[in-house]
Each structure stands twice: as C-alpha cells, then as structure tokens.
Structure 1
Amino acid sequence: MHEDQRHEGEISPLLGRQKQKIRTSTHSLSFYQTRSPSHVVGLLSICTFCLAGASAFLNVPVTRLIEDNLCRRYLGNSHRQGSPIDERLCKTDQIQSKLAYLNGSLALVEALVSLVAAFPFGVLADILGRKPIILLSSVGSLLSLAWVLAVIALPQIISVQFILAGPLFTVVGGGSTVLVANLYSILSDVVPDTDRASAFFYMAFASLVGASVGPAISSRLMESFSPWVPALFGFFAVPIGVSVLAFVPETFAPSKLDPTREEEHAGSGEAQPNAFKSHLTQSLRLLKVSFMMLHSPSLVLVLATFLTCMPESLATSQLFTQYVSKRFDWPLSKAGYLLTIRGIVQMGVLLVALPLLSKLLLQWQHPAGKDLTLARVSATFAASGSLYIAASQIGLVISGITLHTFGAGLAPLCRSLATSYLAPQDTSKLNTLIGIIETTGSLFAGPALAWLFSMGMKLKGAWLGLPYFALAALFVLCLLVLFGVSAPQRDGAEDGYDGEGGLQQRHPRSTEGDLDQEAGIQQT
C-alpha cells in the first residue's frame, strides 16, 4: 500500500499519476529481478514463525517467574533466599490474585502505549520505508522484554511491580503492533493482487505453527531445566526472526512516493521537514473518514463483535494457564501443554473445517450470508466452550478449551462479513477501524479478567471459573448481536443496497471516491 498525496485544491493531477505509475512499474520490475514474490513470502513466513514462537515461548515461563518472585516476597524470611521453592506453595489466593492483577495491568499498559505510539510509527513507515521501522520496533520490544526479565532477576533491588514500566520502552518503534503491520505491508507491496490472499494464508499458517509448537517446547524446557531457559530462548528468537529480513529488499522505495512532492524538493537540499506532518494530517483524515463509513446499522453491529477479541485472547492464553494451575494444583509447565492442544485444534479449524464448510454453504448461500451463518456458529461454540472451561473437572476444562477453539473463525469471518458492506477502496479504512476497536477492547480486558479471577477465588467453589462465566456471557451477547445483523444480498458496494432494503451510499469506482478525496489519499 502507498499513499498518493495531493495538494489542496488540485483536481486531477493526471500527469503526476502517469509518472508515478511509470516509476512504480520500474521499481517493481527491478524488485522482481532480484527477489521473486514467492521467495519473499517464504522469508516473511519464517520471520512470522519465529516471532509467534517467541511469544509462545515467553508466555508460560514469564508467568512462572513472576509467580516465583511474588511467592518469595510473600514467604519472606521463612524461605532461604536463592534456594529452590516448591511451586505448590505459590498457589495461595493472595499470590494468585497479585499475579492476575500484574498480568492484567501489563496488558493495559501495553494497550495504552500501543494507542499512543503505533499510529505515528505507522505513518513513518510510509515515509522512511518498512524495514527501518520493523528494526526500530524490534529494538523497542527487546528493550521492553529485557526490562521485565531484569526486574524479575533482581528481586532484592527492585520490586516486581516495576515490570509495568516495561511496555513504555515500546515507544521506540511502536512495539509488536507496528512490527506485524509492516510485515504485512511488505507482503502487500510485493505480491500481486491475485496472489495476495494466498500469501496472507501462508503468513497466518506460519504464525499458527509457531504459536502451537512454542508452548509444548517451552513447557518441556521448564520441566527439564528452569523457566529462565525458555524465557531466554524466546528473547533471542525475536532478533533471529527479524534478521531474516536482511535477505528481503526494501519494498517501499522513495520512488513510490508522490513524484510531485519529490520534484518540489528536488535540488533544494531540504530534508522535507513537513513530510511527517503531511502524512500525519492525512492519516488523521483517514481515521475520521473511517468512522464516516458507518452508514449501515448491520456494519456497526458486526464491528462491535471485535470487542471480544482481546478478552478471548487473554482468557485462553496467559490467564488460562494460571487458572488451570490454581484450580487443579498443576505446575504451570504442565498447564502450558494445553495451549499446544488449543493451537493444533485452531489449525484444524482454520485450515480444514472452515474452508470445507464455506465451500459447502456456498451452494445454498451467497458469500456474505455464508460468513454470517458461520460467524453465528463460531460464537455458539465459543460461548459453550467458555462454560465448560469454568467447570471443576479437568476433563471438562480440556473439552471446553477444545470446544471454544472451534469458534476460532469468528474474528476472520466477521472481518470478511464487514468488507461485504463496503466498496473495495474502503477496505484499508475498515481495517484501521477494526484495529482501533480491538485496542479499545484490550483496555478493559486485562483488569476486568484479573478482578473476576480474584473475586472467584474469594467466593471459592464453582465461582473460581467466574472469568469464564463472564466470557461465555460476552459471547452470548456477541451471538445476539449477530442475529441482529442482515447480510447484504451480494458482496460489494456496487450492489447499491446495504442488505437491509435501503440504498447504500456508494463510492464511485471509476473515479476518485468521495471518501478518498476527503482523506487525501488513494489506496492501491
């Protein structure tokens, strides 16, 4: 994707666009001569696998290290410093409550920093290029992780609560949000439109594989050695993954910027001090226009379902291992194996079950109607699975996490459904809006789940599953919302109708769209 900047009041810079197309074509030709798209997709998939694996590696051991730190402080002088500590001594309500609140607060701080830092660095990526921003983002992420591990390693010098300062380091580069976004931007720059969906599939598959094998290997290393071993493995997996990009050429060259602006500064020797301000202004207009697209009540309802993404993500990863460990007196390393089961089931759902069901349903329903049907089924699985996870028998909990994972297609299905209400040129704006909604959900997800877990421990008994009762209620609400949605009869805004009997506000496809003119950009 690139941004075609226009001067105020300029009606049709046809000559500039002609030059831009020539320049872009020349750039693309030289690129394909050096690296084929399939070669780049392979390298990006390896990078994604390493990053997803690093996150999976770190999840359980870091939770265990924080728990151990809190446990030693709680036991005080009753336990000799530096000696091994029985994990079972750390399962008291006080320690587990503090652990839940620390993890929940960490998610909140990460979300706040992401809201502040991700947007400006996203703009800079369209000025400086993708790779410099990815490198900067990885540095910020490593600094954040290094701070967390240093605080845990020095309990006599600094309180464990200071891990909450770790996400502040992601102001350097915008953190993982910007890093992943730019990996997909590189893919969009390189791969032709006809092959883009398949390329995204390979990236998603690599991420799923990393997220599936990571917890099993991490848990095994924790059992054989100590939590520090997989934690350090996860730390070094980040630079290893990013180093793969050394073999990928920069895809967003200066030639892809608007040539009228290049000529404006040619020979002046200026560093274009207003470039960032110009991009930021246009991006803010894009944000404003994203909200203006919400002319369909059904589209608003579909977008509301994305508020479930972060609560579900936290409840089925970090909190899940803590919950199983506390409720059934399991070591965290053993509970971590259940995340691998979830990852394997998720791969089966997304790679096999959903594609087959989609193909089958298309015989009776149009694409948007098919997406809506499968989204409702997915929400049903997610709600019922959450109820089983709240059970007091481990067999039911394992069945619950499996059943819940059958609903893994909810978010991609709702994303696909949402695009059917709009013209293709509005897809980028829609994805921007979805990202904002997901981040909004992350602001309350961590603290709310921590409070529910703490309250469940106070109430005891069946109430220990209170976070998952709440998660089930959230998905029931999501299901009711989806039953209030009317799918458009045919995909795309060219249909002229919003699927609810009303005339849709159309955006001309043969000329510049009204929204694009207001935002000051053209998505390609």
Structure 2
Amino acid sequence: MSEETFPLLGGQQKPTTRWLSVYLLSLHTFFISLAFAMVNTPMSQLLEDNLCHRYVQGNSVKAELCKNNHVQFELATIMGYMPVMEAVVTRTLTEALGLTTAFPFGVLADRIGRKPILYLAFAGSILSKGWKLFVLAFPSVLPVQYILAGPLFLVVGGGLAVQLAALNSIASDLVSRSERASAFFLLTFGILSGSAVGPMVSSKLMSAYSPWTPIFLSLCMWPIGVFILMFVPETLPQAKQDPIAEIGRAASVLKPHTLKSHLSQSIQLYKASLASLRTPSIIIIIAANIIDMPEDMATSGFFTQFISKRFNWTFADAGYLIAMRGIIQMAVLLVALPVLSQLLLRWQQPNTRDLTLARFSAAIATAGALWMAASQVDVVIGGLAFQSLGAGMLPLCRSLALSYVPVSETSRLNTLIGIVGTSGSMLGPVLTWLFELGQKRGGVLVGLPYYGLAGAFLLCFVGLLFVQAPVSREEVDEVHSIRDIDDCRSVEC
C-alpha cells in the first residue's frame, strides 16, 4: 500500500482504527483545553481583586473602584507580559543554556516518540499553572507580580509550542496527506469546544459561588485528559529515521556538554529546520501563524477585561461571550469548513482548496476584528461572532505548510510553526499599550487594540494572496528528493 494511503503506520491499522485514534486525540484536547479555559476568567477576576485591594487598601472595596485606570492598566500589563515571559522562557532562556526548548523536544519527538514528549510538556504546564494559583491564593505572602515567574516552569517540556507540535504530529501521522486538514479541524474542534464549555461553566460557578470553585473543578480535568491519551497509539515511524536527529544524537554523545557545544548543536538544529523553507510560499504560510497568540489574547482574557472596563460588565458575564465564540468556531470547524472542503474538491486540488479557504477565513477575521472596535456593545458582540467565523485560517495554513515537506520532517516543521505562533506572544505588550492609549484618548480610539488586530489579519490576508500551493504530490516528492541528495552531498554521505 502506498504511503499516501497509510502515511506512517505501514498499514498496521485500518482506516477506521486510525480515525478512532484521531477522535480520541480530539477528546483529549477537549479535556485539557477545558481545564485551561475554566481557570482563565477566574484568574483575571482574582488578579483584579488583588490589585484593587492593594490600590484601595481596604477590606471592603466597591466594584466600580476596581475599574479605574490605575488598576486596569496594571492588570493589562500583567496579562500582556505573561505570554511574553512564556515566550522568553521557552526560547531565549533555554537557548542560552544550549537547550533551545522547543527544537530539541521536537527532534526528540521524531526519535523517541511523540507521546513521551507530550507528557513532559503537560507536566511543565501544570507546574506553571500551579505556581500562578499559589501566588493568587496567598496575596499577603507574595506580591501579585510574582505570577510572572510561572512560565519558568515551562523549561520542563517546552511549553505550548511543543504540546501543539506533538499533537499535530500524531494527527498528521495517523491520516493521509489529503485528510490532514480534516484531522487538524478535529483537533482544533476539541480545543475550541473545551474553550467554549470552560468559560460557560466557570462563569456560572463564579456567579453562584466564588472564582475558586471553577479553579478547583478544573483540577479534575487534567487526569481525564491524560487517561484518554493513553489509548492513542504511538505514531513514530519505525522505517523512516530522521538523519538530522541522528546527527544531533551522535554529536551529543561525542562532544563534551559545554555551553559552546550546546549552542553549536542548537544552531545546527535551527539550520536543519530552516532548510525546509525553500520557497517564499511556505515562509509566508508559517509567518501567518504569528497572529495566533495576539488573536487568542484579544478574544479571551484581554477581551473579558476590555468588555468589563468599557461596558461595566462583570468578568462572569463577559465569560459567556468567550463561550459564544467557542460555539461559533465549533460550528465552523465541524460543519462549515468540512462541507466547503468537499465542495471545493470538485474543482480544486486539496492544497489549492486549503489555500482558498485560508484566504477566505483571513478576510472574515479582518472584518470581524474591525467591528470589535465599535463603541456599541451589540456591534462589538456581533464583531466577535463574525471574527470567530475565521477560525479555520490557522489549521488550514498548518495543513498547507506540511504539504511542502516529507513525512519525516513533520514534527520539526510543526515545532517551527509552534515557535512562530509563540513568538506572537511578544506582541502582548503592544496590545496593552494600545489599550492604555485608547483609554487615555477616549472616543473611537478606545477600540484601538482591535484596530490593530484587524490590521494584523489584513496583512495575513495580503500575504496569502502571494502564496502558490504545490501543484501535485509528485512535484513535492521531486523537490524533496533533490533536496535530500544535496543534503547528503553536503555531509559527504
């Protein structure tokens, strides 16, 4: 049987069994995403309460006092710099130690398996989240700013970039190349469904009890998610070995573990991954993923603060809007995009179809983000709903990017995409700055953060207009064969 039909498992699993594994993977992402989503809104409320009590310095604080600019600017600063700290830890700090977190874990996933690396990444994320909750639970012991130290624990496992890379590598290993977009839709659906249910549950519990109630309940979701993952088979290909990983492993054995040797190996790993970026099209596609984190921030935690401040809503009420966004995105990924994908296959090849839908999604997201800057709450909610219709852009771009590389390099490319997405965290302070500038200037400029988000999506849309999808599978294989020969000659095979 051809590789196109059985990409990695060599026909050892039936198609129905492989798709069952994909569904289990989607269910796993649901519970993990649910655990995270149930914590986010309560944490924002607890952060505001902490900052407000320190600012007012009293036991009884009126809610309206917590909406003053001093408290809100400090809250926005902490929330804006949190993803920056995560990006710094998972990239800059660990690179200085010669470990470059995301890349070695990505290469290890191609060597020892995807699931062990995934478990390790989950452990680091749990430790990071645990530290944040510890700081919030003992405000009299630690200043709330110490919450920014939470990302230090992400050196264990590599953080979100590694988790997403491992999950997407397992999914792409399980299905054929033409079915990857559908598999990525299912994974994204699991994430979004958890992100939709989580805020709904947490908002209800926050209104009825306290912000800590949904946090404690979320702790039960982690073991369920890990248990489900145990039933997903390891998908590391046995017949195909990654020569770059072999070189990296040999180098680690032969060279002393000095800082210089670690840095040298890190540079080699970067060069090996960047070698895949041979065409402007794949560079544009991967670069589009930088919008991932800014979009997530602007439509989740930051959005609840924005709505709470601008329209005097409670965090619990604003959390329902996040749930609405997740429901719309689920409908898009589960119904709309699969139906459109099948219809477009009548006239277009799979890669061309993915590119067409990615462009369409980027255009919708641009218009929706622009509406979110409006001064009427109904228009803002409508803009959020319309922007959510563009949920397919990033999974479509990921599927399209994988069409440019052979199967043996999918994990490294997924890691590279994750790193680019994580790099977008650096734009968090820009969002904070736009928020503060808009609040100071007032008027239509209050929506300045969402004018910026609309501009970013517009750049993605324009970039995708210049992308050329691979014409055929044979053309892609020919390019990979030529590249492999050149790489072999360069190392004197």
Aligned to 1:461: 443
* Aligned CA distance change for structure 1 residues 69 and 106 (closer, same or farther; 3 Å): same
* Aligned CA distance change for structure 1 residues 143 and 350 (closer, same or farther; 3 Å): same
Give the letter aligned to residue 459 of structure 1: R
Aligned to 1:507: 480
Is 1:99 the counterpart of 2:75? The answer is yes
Q: Deviations over 1:25-45 (max 9, x none)?
A: 8xx96xx79x96466445433
- C-alpha contact (below 8 Å) 1:138/1:238 kept by paired residues: no
SS in 1 for 2:219: helix
Residue correspondence of structure 1 range 355-366 to structure 2 within 5 A: 355-366=338-349
Paired-residue identity, %:
48
Residue correspondence of structure 1 range 33-52 to structure 2 within 5 A: 37=18, 40-52=21-33
Aligned to 2:222: 238
Aligned to 1:61: 42
* Aligned CA distance change for structure 1 residues 300 and 172 (closer, same or farther; 3 Å): closer
| CA distance in 1 between partners of 2:256 and 2:21 (Å) | 28
| CA distance in 1 between partners of 2:229 and 2:393 (Å) | 31
| CA distance in 2 between partners of 1:303 and 1:256 (Å) | 25
| CA distance in 2 between partners of 1:255 and 1:293 (Å) | 21
1:217 maps to which of 201, 217, 220: 201
- C-alpha contact (below 8 Å) 1:145/1:166 kept by paired residues: yes
Structure 1 window deviating more from structure 2 (356-365 vs 168-177): it is 356-365
SS in 1 for 2:472: coil
Is 1:208 the counterpart of 2:192? The answer is yes
| CA distance in 2 between partners of 1:436 and 1:121 (Å) | 12
Is 1:145 the counterpart of 2:145? The answer is no
Unaligned runs of 5+ in 1: 1-23, 263-271, 497-504
| CA distance in 1 between partners of 2:50 and 2:374 (Å) | 29
Q: Deviations over 1:192-245 (max 9, x none)?
A: 878766655443332222111111111111111111111222234223322334
| CA distance in 1 between partners of 2:392 and 2:168 (Å) | 20
- C-alpha contact (below 8 Å) 1:382/1:405 kept by paired residues: yes
Q: Deviations over 1:154-197 (max 9, x none)?
A: 12221000000011012122234334433444556666878766
Give the letter aligned to residue 359 of structure 2: R
| CA distance in 1 between partners of 2:291 and 2:237 (Å) | 38
* Aligned CA distance change for structure 1 residues 187 and 387 (closer, same or farther; 3 Å): closer
SS in 1 for 2:224: helix
* Aligned CA distance change for structure 1 residues 229 and 471 (closer, same or farther; 3 Å): same
Is 1:174 the counterpart of 2:158? The answer is yes
How many residue pairs get aligned? The number is: 468
Q: Deviations over 1:364-416 (max 9, x none)?
A: 44444433333332222111111110111111001100111122222223334
- C-alpha contact (below 8 Å) 1:134/1:179 kept by paired residues: yes
* Aligned CA distance change for structure 1 residues 203 and 414 (closer, same or farther; 3 Å): closer
Instruction: Say which one has the larger Rg.
Output: 1
Give the letter aligned to residue 508 of structure 1: S
Q: Deviations over 1:116-153 (max 9, x none)?
A: 33333334445555444433333322221121111112
Aligned to 2:329: 346
Taking only aligned residues, the RMSD between alpha carbons, in angstroms, comes to 3.8
Q: Deviations over 1:87-134 (max 9, x none)?
A: 332111111111111011111011122223333333444555544443
| CA distance in 2 between partners of 1:186 and 1:276 (Å) | 33
* Aligned CA distance change for structure 1 residues 127 and 427 (closer, same or farther; 3 Å): closer
1:433 maps to which of 416, 421, 424: 416
| CA distance in 2 between partners of 1:212 and 1:519 (Å) | 50
TM-score by length of 2: 0.82
| CA distance in 2 between partners of 1:495 and 1:286 (Å) | 23
Is 1:482 the counterpart of 2:464? The answer is yes
Give the letter aligned to residue 66 of structure 2: C
- C-alpha contact (below 8 Å) 1:58/1:231 kept by paired residues: yes
| CA distance in 2 between partners of 1:255 and 1:68 (Å) | 56
